[in-house]
Amino acid sequence: MTVTLHPQTAPAPVNADTLVVEKTPLERYVAPEKPSLVGLSRAALGEALAGIDVPPAQIRMRVQQLWHWLYVRGAQSFDQMTSVSKELRSTLDRHFTLARPEVVAEQISVDGTRKWLLRLPSQDPGERPHEVECVYIPEADRGTLCLSSQVGCTLNCSFCHTGTQRLVRNLVAGEIVGQVMIARDRLGDWTGVERARGDGLPTEGDRLVSNIVMMGMGEPLYNFEAVRDALLVAQDGDGLGISRRRITLSTSGVVPMIPRAGEEIGVMLAVSLHAVRDELRNELVPLNRRYPIEELLEACRNYPGVSNARRITFEYVMLKGVNDSIADAKALVRLLKGIPAKINLIPFNPWPGTRYECSDWEQIEKFSQVVFDAGYASPVRTPRGRDILAACGQLKSATEKLSARERLALRAMAMTD
């Protein structure tokens, strides 16, 4: 499954005089003169080393060393890699970097929630760089990182601001892993580095970043390979070490990719359901026209590894007068019968120009009571980081609907253990 790239990126310009094909900025980023090693699989790292003439007999050991420095120690320069010979360090430095995406803004809430605005290279000369956000939500016993998989989204869900953005591009695996690296850099969450302290940061557990939710910008199953590669790097027990049970991938329902997500990534699944009838879901999540509710639920029933201990989370955004009646609540619990499920009710986060409103609190409570009576535990949680969300306008419009995702991320934390 691919995503349409911005049309202007298509052909690389050809210099007629010399007939040299020049690289676009994106191509240079993906295959730059000096690429970053962040996000490469072990195999790709081995190839990179072979490419700079590291002897074949040494490659395995060198990959091990680099992996450790990158993903356990969080090295930001080759100089830090004291177990690697000086000569190899300088060869590595000539050919590669350890660069992460650039952090252009950081906001820290009084409750410890942190938000980073990240700048990614644009595809076209003259085009503004792309921006995505990454959010860290700490609790006493865990810290959850909400990651983006695309700049924008092609799916146009009618209540989602990201879907209104014209500019869309997939993040490469390094940009997804890079978000984890940045969070650990900013929090000092590396072995041998002093941990950040402060109000709201986890006090239990040995990691500040212990969980991941793919609930930021974009549809992760429309960027499958990069998301898979990145999440496999994140899961590696000798590296970033975030177990697949602590990683949740949220999808709007890309049915054909759901089995692959289970088989090839093995993470927890969250599904953006939002409606119990196809007619309404077609309007809210237009992808439903291609993969209607019954097919989506069938894919959930068959999700590899699903069980009462590993439930699927169904996200349900509360839209006033649209999907929030008691009849809808009853239909929802009927629909999910027999699927090991959790339900997260998400207060709608309005944005300029939207035709929807958030359901009244009373209605959310009534709805949630029906869900609760059917055996699903406390589905609505209090949002966090409100003070920095209030300052959200200081960040770029591309990320205006962050508070919704943040709420989701909060809820997801309850189920990723």
**Binding interface with ligand SAH (CB under 6 A):** 153, 157, 159-161, 215, 219, 250-252, 272, 315, 317, 346, 348-349, 401, 404-405, 408
Contacts of 332 (CB under 8 A, 6+ apart): 273, 276, 314, 316, 343, 370, 371
Nearer to ligand SAH, 173 or 317 (CB): 317
What are the distances in angstroms from CA 408 to CA 7, 209, 262, 343, 348? Answer: 32, 17, 21, 11, 11
Nearer to ligand SAH, 190 or 348 (CB): 348
Strands (E), 268-340: 268-272, 312-318
To ligand SF4, the closest distance from the beta carbon of 251 in angstroms equals 8
* Strand partners for 114: 108, 136
Nearer to ligand SF4, 217 or 388 (CB): 217
Confirm whether 157 is a catalytic residue: no
H or E element in which residue 59 lies: helix 56-71
Q: In what order do the strands lie in the sheet with 247-251?
A: 102-108, 114-120, 130-139, 142-146, 211-214, 247-251, 268-272, 312-318, 341-347
To ligand SAH, the closest distance from the beta carbon of 385 in angstroms equals 15
Active-site position among 153, 157, 392, 406: 392
Nearer to ligand SAH, 139 or 315 (CB): 315
Nearer to ligand SF4, 84 or 261 (CB): 261
To ligand SF4, the closest distance from the beta carbon of 416 in angstroms equals 19
Question: Coil, strand or helix: which one is 128?
Answer: coil
To ligand SF4, the closest distance from the beta carbon of 165 in angstroms equals 9
Question: Of ligand SF4, ligand SAH, none, which one does residue 208 interact with (CB within 5 to 8 Å by kind)?
Answer: none
Distance between CA atoms of 407 and 318, rounded to whole angstroms? 12
To ligand SF4, the closest distance from the beta carbon of 232 in angstroms equals 23
Nearer to ligand SAH, 240 or 270 (CB): 270
Question: Of ligand SAH, ligand SF4, none, which one does residue 108 interact with (CB within 5 to 8 Å by kind)?
Answer: none
Confirm whether 133 is a catalytic residue: yes
Residue type, 235: Q
The closest alpha carbon to 370, from 339, 336, 328, belongs to 328
List of residues contacting ligand SF4 (CB under 6 A): 153, 155-157, 160, 162-163, 218-219, 252, 272
Question: Of ligand SAH, ligand SF4, none, which one does residue 346 interact with (CB within 5 to 8 Å by kind)?
Answer: ligand SAH
What are the distances in angstroms from CA 124 to CA 11, 16, 24, 99? Answer: 11, 19, 7, 21
Contact 242, 211 (CB under 8 A): yes
To ligand SAH, the closest distance from the beta carbon of 299 in angstroms equals 14
Matching residue, tokens 């085009």? 127
Question: Of ligand SAH, ligand SF4, none, which one does residue 315 interact with (CB within 5 to 8 Å by kind)?
Answer: ligand SAH
Distance between CA atoms of 135 and 383, rounded to whole angstroms? 13
- Bridging pattern class, strands 130-139 and 341-347: unpaired
Question: Coil, strand or helix: which one is 346?
Answer: strand
Active-site position among 133, 139, 315, 406: 133
- Residue number of the CB closest to ligand SAH reads 404
Question: Of ligand SF4, ligand SAH, none, which one does residue 42 interact with (CB within 5 to 8 Å by kind)?
Answer: none
Question: Of ligand SF4, ligand SAH, none, which one does residue 324 interact with (CB within 5 to 8 Å by kind)?
Answer: none
Residues classed as catalytic: 133, 392
